[in-house]
Amino acid sequence: MSISISLETQRWKKVVKKAIIVISLVEEGTEVANEKIEEDILNELSEEPTRIPWLKEVEKVTITEE
């Protein structure tokens, strides 16, 4: 989290930083529903200790098909 001061209002302003992470899934993922994969990834990443540096909270996982 980073905090900055607005010169116009002299109030503290909270800056939120987020990362978008794109990964390729293993071939076996084609046999599983997207919702199940999203749930599994979200649950795994939400457990502590996480293996992603700087991660505070996993907010959303979305699976797409090309």
For residue range 14-61, list pLDDT tens digits in order: 888 888 888 899 999 999 999 999 999 988 888 877 777 777 888 888
Kindly provide the residue ranges of all beta strands, DSSP E only, lying in 1-66, ordered along the sequence. 2-5, 12-15
Question: Which residues, 6+ apart, have CB-to-CB distance to 16 below 8 Å?
Answer: 1
pLDDT at 45: 85
